[in-house]
Amino acid sequence: MPKFAAQFRYLDKERRDEVRPRHREYLKGLFEQGKIVMSGPWADDSGAMAVFEVADEAEARELLAADPYNEAGVVGDLQVREWQVIFPP
């Protein structure tokens, strides 16, 4: 199944902190369903990245749109790209 890397920056860190528990519960559910491989914030806390394992880019974008961060207006400069993993094979 293809993988898609999504990266974005935080627009409002105060609002992000308020919504973070719901965001993490949402991601935990996606992980348990096998739809997200990994995710986390950048070390400088300016944004985050997530790797989805879904059928296509449209599904990745649908999952991102339903994320509490997106619904709360925390996400900016969202980029989603298909990622061709070489290692591990």
**pTM score:** 0.92
Architecture of domain 3-83: 2-Layer Sandwich (3.30)
Spatial CA neighbour of 10 closest among 18, 51, 2, 29: 18
CA 67 – CA 56 distance, rounded (Å): 17
Residue with tokens 């944004």: 47
Q: Where are the domains of the chain?
A: 3-83
pLDDT at 46: 95
Task: State how beta strands 3-10 and 47-53 pair.
Answer: antiparallel
For 38, residues 6+ apart whose C-beta sits below 8 A from its C-beta are 50, 51
> How many beta carbons lie within 10 A of that of residue 8, not counting itself?
21
For residue 89, is pLDDT > 90?
no
